[in-house]
Amino acid sequence: MSARSQRQGQDVLDDRARRVLSAIVRDHIESGEPVGSHAIARRPEVDVSSATVRAVMADLEDLGYLSKPHTSAGRIPTQRGYRYYVDALLRVKQPLPEEREQIERQAHQAAAQVDGLMTAASRILHSLTRHAGVVASPRPQSERLQRIEFVPLREGRVLAVLVARSGAVRNRLLTLTQSASASELERAANYLNSLIADLTLPEAQARLRKELERDRRELDELRARALSLGAEAVHLEQPLVHIEGQSSLLEEKGLAGDVAKIRALFKALEEKESLLRVLDRALEAEELRIFIGAESGIVEPDLAIVAAPYRLKGEVVGALGVIGPTRMDYSRVIPLVELTARTIGMTLDEER
């Protein structure tokens, strides 16, 4: 939500309407049920009659912040209501000491391998929030290469092993146009490492492409073959996406028993490229982003995504987050996502 639209929304709602809306959102987050005027009027921070609350609720409904499901006398927040609450009314709760300790402990236990660390992060987020945790591995184009190795296989194939300075290891299966011995592959790897060590993947691609464009007469057969293999090996791939706890979404009251919604949801979560695009929006913004309902573009209106970027040596390289119901406890989820992102970044820094 833009600052301008947020200011416009704040201009529409007076202090009483803001207190009523905040109370309704918090009640609905806790119960999952429509909220009535009597429950809100009893709250000390509201402190007005039930009749006054009903009038304010009617106004909030007219403005699109609340809706009235079926014939219920209560109201529930709309996507717009949740967005206003998150942007203007939310007060976050700092993680508990034991939650902080759990995040740090599990991150350090899994620090040896990047993929293991990413899997641990998704499990941590699920464990602490009881929503689905989603983590994208460091984008390969952000990482600097340490070395490349070639492992000969059968039937004219070779395994290219890319080792990044972050510790990430990526394998690519390549097919040789003509056979090569293990010693020839080792010499090819040594030659490539002299060209691409400490470069990012895009930089390595550009360097190898430049070398290949040189007059072929300047290249002996070994170097020409090495450059061709190297160019294929450093071809950019999408980062891995780790998800943990999708089944927790089935506990959401808005989904229980609705087979069509459940199928649509799990189909969306299986499309890793779509999830990656959402996480990339937090990565590109270089700050925490909250997508409520249709704002993410991938899930049905009753779900939300809280995503935050993480850094390696000060550079944003990936993002992680939580997928849950729109009525998730944002005051608790947001700081947990931010803390996990910071911890993952610090762990990467310590280990690389």
Residues 6+ apart with CB under 8 A from 19: 45, 46
Q: What is the pLDDT of residue 154?
A: 83
Q: Label residue 264 by pLDDT band (50, 70, 90).
A: confident
Given a cut of 90, whether residue 83 has pLDDT beyond it is yes
Q: What is the pLDDT of residue 158?
A: 92
Rounded Cα–Cα distance for residues 1 and 132 (Å): 24
Q: What is the pLDDT of residue 279?
A: 93
Q: What is the pLDDT of residue 218?
A: 62
Tokens standing for residue 327:
């009525």
Amino acid, res. 239: P
β-sheet bridge partners, residue 305? 291, 323
Q: The whole model's pTM is what? A: 0.76
200-214, 284-298, 336-350: the lowest-pLDDT one: 200-214
Ranges 209-223, 270-284, 315-329, most confident: 315-329
User: Where are the domains positioned within the chain?
Assistant: 3-89, 97-139+239-351, 141-233
Average pLDDT of the residues in 151-170? 85
Q: What is the pLDDT of residue 256?
A: 64
> CA 277, 278, 279: angle at the middle one, nearest 5?
95
What is the second-level CATH architecture of the domain 141-233? 2-Layer Sandwich (3.30)
Average pLDDT of the residues in 57-73? 89
Given a cut of 90, whether residue 10 has pLDDT beyond it is no
Write the burial class of residue 204 (CB in 10 Å: 0-12 exposed, 13-18 middle, 19+ buried). buried
Average pLDDT of the residues in 9-15? 71
Ranges 74-88, 161-175, 199-213, 222-236, most confident: 74-88
CATH top-level class of 3-89:
mainly alpha
Given a cut of 90, whether residue 234 has pLDDT beyond it is no
Q: How many CB atoms lie under 10 A from the CB of residue 323?
A: 31
Given a cut of 60, whether residue 339 has pLDDT beyond it is yes
Rounded Cα–Cα distance for residues 209 and 284 (Å): 27
The answer to whether the beta carbons of residues 129 and 122 sit under 8 Å apart is no
pLDDT greater at residue 175 or residue 65: 65
Q: What is the pLDDT of residue 349?
A: 86
Q: What is the pLDDT of residue 9?
A: 45
pLDDT tens, position by position, 94-103: 999 999 999 9
Ranges 5-14, 249-258, 305-314, most confident: 305-314
Q: What is the pLDDT of residue 301?
A: 62
CATH top-level class of 97-139+239-351:
alpha beta
Given a cut of 50, whether residue 140 has pLDDT beyond it is yes
Q: Please state, in angstroms and as integers, the Cα–Cα distance from residue 137 to each residue in 31, 112, 247, 296, following that order.
A: 35, 14, 22, 20
Given a cut of 80, whether residue 297 has pLDDT beyond it is yes
